[in-house]
A and B are shown apart, each in its own frame.
Chain A
Amino acid sequence: MISNIIKTEWLKLKHYKAFWVLLSVTAISYPGINGIAYYAFMDSIDAKSQSSQLVKMLLGNPFAFPQSLHTTAYLSSFFTFIPAIVVIMLITNEYLFKTHRQNIIDGWKKNNFIWGKFICVLLVTLIVTLFYLAVAFIIGSLATKELEGVNIFEKAHYIGLFSLQVFCQLSIAFLLGLLIRKAFIAYGIYIFYSFILENILSGFFRLKSKKWGIDYGHYLPFEISDRLIPLPPSIGKFNAADNQLAIAAINIHVVYTLALTAFVWLLSFYIFKKRDL
């Protein structure tokens, strides 16, 4: 059955130009943001001024191996909103064309339909992770003066953390599309919440954390997975204590992220099963 679902979803995606165009935009955005940051950094440390030399001494080179996999994961994670458009489009288009009904009428179980979308989100995550990996290795190679003796895979766990973060956030985007059914409204809410509201809530909870003894902001939907990739150590050393705490909390946030992702998909299966189409 799963092979039939994969085949059918591929038939839907194969000739879908908007899907491939948006993935191409993602493909451009990742080297774009990382490249700009890399060249800006290189320019700043290449200058002969005292401050440039101070930056170089303090930061080292966060783009060189083995830090490259961490730094590019951190920078790339700001651009998950582009593949989120793809995911929202994939589900809201089914509502727009009413093909979600036709798929069921033609003989799929309701679960099959959601499994199809689960596979699509997984595929987008895989593609995005490949873009990130390509950028990390290209920039890492450019920034590392001497590869000998450097374990370029020392930070390889960030590959898994990045893909988990992307999958979790794209899953939330999918749930929004499934619930709201209209692409622009779903995407508007996604952007407003992830970029504005959650930051406001996060700030609020941070302020209250001393009084309450706990920072509930760490458990907000996007913050849960954002905390999988803390600031790279060379940059985070400006607030070393917080950075150490953030790095120490990665493991527990892996558990939270997995739990949230599982909840999002279970809810998606439940909603689609119970809702009239």
Chain B
Amino acid sequence: MPVLEINAISKSYGKIKALDAVSFSIPQGSVFGLLGPNGSGKTTMLSIILDVLQADEGGYKWFGQTPSYQHRKKIGSLLETPNLYHYLTAVQNLRITQSISGRGNEADIHAVLEKVNLHERKNSRFSTYSLGMKQRLAIAAALLGNPAVLVLDEPTNGLDPVGIAEIRNLIKGLSEHGHTVIMASHLLDEVEKVCDHVAILKRGKLIASGAVESVLSAEDCIVVNASDQVLLEGCINGYPGLIRMNRTAEGIECYFEKGTSSAEKINLFCHEKGLVLSQLVPKKKRLEEKFFELTAE
């Protein structure tokens, strides 16, 4: 059973359609990345599933059930910015989170502060924290009581490279322990490192979703090169099953239907045409590349 099922959610702000009949589901135990350029509707989507915004149309289910406040208590969330009381200390803020959600206890509060490296500043007021420290406290609030599901909106915002790596390892660790993590992020490299599922939004529309491998590999790509690129282009153009090719600095990228490419057969084909290849490399597309391809105007 999916942790979250989103069914044809639409939301408008006046004439602007922030989400347009978006549907996808999030498998249990996955690290799910919600991607999209600025204004694509990521935060609107997370706000709706956390009951901060109301959808105009469509709906969603947490754990296969109609969503309620009881579900939100079980979900650790960080939405947009760290939303905490500026005049309270880290410990006092987490006591409020604990009181409302019922997650964790006094010992857990200190444990999560240790986990995000804020224990030494636990008695400092939130208003005295740097942006990175505020972000870490918000993550600590989300982690309090070890919730089974975490919703993190741009969790690495304001963090230094060490902090980013720490959060990456934290999310990986959570995933290994069976937690479901739903994260929106601009940092595609980070998402690629930690997420196993993604959904890509563009201007409120869902343009791709599923396991990272299947989203990235809609086509097979093999890069070939030879001393005479013009001759190689003419030769490879006649290869059966070729969809398109693209000349780059690395060589010629040849695209095939998913699962139909064979480096061995291409090599043999070129050899029979009297061409010796200097390069023959199956290429795995990177998320960043796919993202730009999908979200390009």
Using a CB–CB cutoff of 8 Å, the interface residues on chain A facing chain B are: 4, 7-8, 11-12, 15-18, 97-99, 101-109, 112, 276-277
Known: A7-B99, A11-B99. A105 touches B92 (CB 8 A): no
CB of B102 within 8 A of chain A?
A: yes
Q: Report yes or no: B52 in contact with A15, Cβ–Cβ below 8 A.
A: no
| CB nearest neighbor in A for B126 | A97
Q: Report yes or no: B69 in contact with A107, Cβ–Cβ below 8 A.
A: yes
Q: Report yes or no: A107 in contact with B73, Cβ–Cβ below 8 A.
A: yes
List chain B residues, Cβ under 8 A from A112.
69
List chain A residues, Cβ under 8 A from B73.
106-107
CB of B86 within 8 A of chain A?
A: yes
List chain B residues, Cβ under 8 A from A15.
87-89, 92
CB of B156 within 8 A of chain A?
A: no
**A-B pairs with beta carbons under 8 Å apart, 16 shown:** A7-B99, A11-B95, A15-B88, A16-B88, A18-B87, A99-B85, A101-B52, A101-B83, A102-B83, A105-B79, A105-B83, A107-B101, A107-B102, A108-B69, A108-B100, A277-B47
Known: A15-B92, A97-B85. A104 touches B70 (CB 8 A): no
Shortest A21–chain B CB gap in Å is 12
List chain B residues, Cβ under 8 A from A108.
69, 100
Partner of A105, one of B52, B88, B99: B52
Complex CA gap A18/B85 in Å reads: 13
Further contacts, 8 of them, CB under 8 A, given A8-B99, A107-B70:
A16-B87, A99-B85, A102-B79, A102-B84, A104-B50, A106-B73, A109-B69, A276-B54
CB of B209 within 8 A of chain A?
A: no
CB of B51 within 8 A of chain A?
A: yes
List chain B residues, Cβ under 8 A from A4.
99-100
Shortest A64–chain B CB gap in Å is 44
Complex CA gap A12/B96 in Å reads: 7
Known: A11-B92, A11-B95, A101-B52. A106 touches B85 (CB 8 A): no
Residues facing A in B153-192 (CB within 8 A) are none
CB of B53 within 8 A of chain A?
A: yes
Known: A8-B96, A104-B72, A276-B53. A98 touches B83 (CB 8 A): yes
**Closest 3 interchain pairs by CB?**
A107-B73, A102-B83, A98-B83
Complex CA gap A104/B101 in Å reads: 9
Shortest A135–chain B CB gap in Å is 30
Q: Report yes or no: B52 in contact with A276, Cβ–Cβ below 8 A.
A: yes
Complex CA gap A120/B139 in Å reads: 29
CB of B81 within 8 A of chain A?
A: yes
List chain A residues, Cβ under 8 A from B102.
107
Partner of B50, one of A7, A16, A105: A105
Complex CA gap A160/B111 in Å reads: 48
Complex CA gap A7/B95 in Å reads: 10
Residues facing A in B90-124 (CB within 8 A) are 92, 95-97, 99-102
List chain B residues, Cβ under 8 A from A12.
85, 88, 96
CB of B135 within 8 A of chain A?
A: no
Complex CA gap A7/B77 in Å reads: 22
In this complex, the member of B47, B92, B96 whose beta carbon has the largest number of chain A beta carbons within 10 angstroms is B96
List chain B residues, Cβ under 8 A from A7.
99
Complex CA gap A112/B97 in Å reads: 14
Q: Report yes or no: B87 in contact with A17, Cβ–Cβ below 8 A.
A: yes
Shortest B207–chain A CB gap in Å is 25
Q: Report yes or no: B77 in contact with A106, Cβ–Cβ below 8 A.
A: yes
Residues facing A in B206-258 (CB within 8 A) are none
Residue-by-residue, is B42-78 near A (CB-CB < 8 Å gives 1, otherwise 0)? Answer: 0000010011111000000000000001101100010
List chain A residues, Cβ under 8 A from B70.
107
Shortest B236–chain A CB gap in Å is 54
Shortest B249–chain A CB gap in Å is 47
Q: Report yes or no: A106 in contact with B101, Cβ–Cβ below 8 A.
A: yes
Complex CA gap A206/B73 in Å reads: 55
List chain A residues, Cβ under 8 A from B69.
107-109, 112
Complex CA gap A109/B101 in Å reads: 11
Complex CA gap A230/B89 in Å reads: 46
Q: Report yes or no: B87 in contact with A277, Cβ–Cβ below 8 A.
A: no
Q: Report yes or no: A103 in contact with B100, Cβ–Cβ below 8 A.
A: yes
Shortest A121–chain B CB gap in Å is 19
Q: Report yes or no: B99 in contact with A99, Cβ–Cβ below 8 A.
A: no
List chain B residues, Cβ under 8 A from A105.
50-52, 72, 77, 79, 83
Q: Report yes or no: B54 in contact with A106, Cβ–Cβ below 8 A.
A: no
List chain A residues, Cβ under 8 A from B95.
11
In this complex, the member of A12, A104, A107, A108 whose beta carbon has the largest number of chain B beta carbons within 10 angstroms is A107
List chain A residues, Cβ under 8 A from B101.
106-107
| CB nearest neighbor in B for A14 | B92
Complex CA gap A103/B79 in Å reads: 12
Q: Report yes or no: A104 in contact with B96, Cβ–Cβ below 8 A.
A: no
List chain A residues, Cβ under 8 A from B79.
101-102, 105
Complex CA gap A8/B79 in Å reads: 21
Partner of B100, one of A18, A97, A107, A277: A107
